[in-house]
Amino acid sequence: MALNTALPRLVALAGGVGGARLAHGLAHRLDPDHLSIIVNTGDDFEHLGLLICPDLDTVLYNLAGVHHPDQGWGRADETFHVLEEAARLGHDPWFRLGDKDLALHLLRRQMLAAGLRLTAVTAELARRFGVVHPILPMSDDPVRTVIGTPEGELAFQDYFVRQRCRPRMVGMRLEGLETARPAPAAVAALERAEAVVICPSNPYVSIGPILALPGLRERVQARPTVAVSPIVGGQALKGPAAKMMAELGVEVSALGVARHYAGLIRGFVLDQRDAHLAPAVAALGLRVLVTDTVMTDTAARVRLAGEVLAFVRELIRES
């Protein structure tokens, strides 16, 4: 593991696949005292009596190195015997849960039933997977993303998995936000952080819920913060981010993302394919790093993490 001489104490904000990829790269560069990952729980839902936490688990599986190599969720070398049998017995298997994945879900259910908060449950699961970096749910209270469509509202996983993001998004709402508090460990990590990295996650449904919790946006804003664009060449590499931007009337480009975060961040990381947008991003008052941001393998994750860290250190020196 890398030595941290002069390396900053960082918090990374992450959703699922894009967030997990960069968080994994950062975890190769920083020891656990220098990197905490605050993860979206707005996608969480109850299913088959279990609490499903897609983004927490994607981050956990990636840091543990047991993630599915290209699917963006779930585990490598997975089987689906339980789900197949449940389907034979009449269960609609619209939400895929593999056998190994189910083992984690059963343990999470047991720990929650014993009275542990989600932060403690996640820490314990991470420990059992040998993950040493803190993976912190944004809140221990339920916050549930609801997508507004012309036909009415859809719970997030209904929209995302069952309907494959086909309905047009006309708005979103975070159920439970009025009473939810940010998780104390997430707040403490932000308090200790010298800088924040917003991973290349969906700005609306992955990063939005984290920033919506009371006090979190302000704490991010108070630090040198860098965002990595999840939009590359006018497209999302996975998921509905680009479709959502179009439906919300926002320019579908890395510049659109930079505008979304302007006022919150000081630096923005653009893919080399979008280098022509650098002057327009700089005109928003942001420092710009142009590089290859497509994390095709572990080496690419670690390389991008190194470049992001160097960029963050520059911003810290200037602040």
**Taking a C-beta distance cutoff of 8 angstroms, is the pair 277, 270 a contact?**
yes
267 is a contact residue toward ligand GDP (CB under 6 A): no
208 binds Ca ion (CB under 5 A): no
Nearest distance from residue 59's CB to ligand GDP, in Å?
A: 9
CB 186 → Ca ion: shortest distance, Å?
A: 17
Q: Residue 63: CB partners within 8 Å, gap ≥ 6?
A: 20, 23, 24, 27, 126, 129, 131, 133, 135
23-55 as b/e: b if 16+ CB within 10 A: bbbbbbbbeeebbbbbbbbbbbbeeeebbbbbb
Piece of 95-103, 139-147, 211-219, 232-240 that binds ligand GDP (CB under 6 A): 232-240
CB of 238 or CB of 313, closer to ligand GDP: 238
The nearer residue to ligand GDP, 308 or 315, going by C-beta atoms, is 308
Q: What is the token pair recorded at 134?
A: 């803190």
Residue 206 in the binding site for ligand GDP (CB under 6 A): yes
Size of the site for Ca ion (CB under 5 A): 4
> Does position 230 bind ligand GDP by CB under 6 A?
yes
- Taking the alpha carbons at both ends of the chain, their separation in whole angstroms is 28
43 contacts Ca ion (rule: CB under 5 A): yes
Q: Select the binding partner of residue 224 from ligand GDP, Ca ion, none (C-beta < 5 to 8 A, by kind).
A: none
Exposure of 268 in the CB half-sphere (CA atoms within 13 A): 31
If binding is defined by CB under 5 A, does position 203 make contact with Ca ion? no
Residue 238 engages ligand GDP in binding (rule: CB under 6 A): yes
Pairing of strands 45-47, 50-52: antiparallel
Q: Which of 8, 15, 224, 230 binds Ca ion (CB under 5 A)?
A: 15
Among 24, 53, 55, 104, binds Ca ion (CB under 5 A): 55
CA atoms within 13 A on the CB side of 9: 10
d(CA 72, CA 192): 30
- Which of 44, 55 has the CB closer to ligand GDP? 55
Q: Which of 8, 16, 203, 209 binds Ca ion (CB under 5 A)?
A: 16
In the chain, the DSSP E strands lie at 10-14, 35-39, 45-47, 50-52, 135-137, 144-149, 152-155, 171-175, 195-198, 225-228, 231-232, 235-236, 267-271, 287-291
Smallest distance from ligand GDP to CB 3, Å: 26
User: Does 19 engage in binding with ligand GDP (CB under 6 A)?
Assistant: yes
**19 touching Ca ion, by CB under 5 A:** no
232 near ligand GDP, rule: CB under 6 A: yes
Close Cβ partners of 58 (under 8 Å, ≥ 6 residues apart): 16, 17, 19, 20, 67, 72, 73
- Give the shortest CB-278-to-ligand GDP separation in angstroms: 15
Other C-beta atoms closer than 10 Å to the C-beta of 208 total 18
Which span sits near ligand GDP by CB under 6 A: 98-106, 126-134, 135-143, 291-299? Answer: 291-299
Q: Residue 84: which H helix or E strand, with range?
A: helix 81-88
- Least CB distance to Ca ion at residue 201 (A): 8
Inter-axis angle of helices 118-128 and 54-64, to 10 degrees?
Answer: 30
The residue ranges that bind Ca ion (CB under 5 A) are 15-16, 43, 55
The residue ranges that bind ligand GDP (CB under 6 A) are: 15-19, 21, 55, 58, 72, 200-202, 206, 228-230, 232, 236-239, 241, 293-295
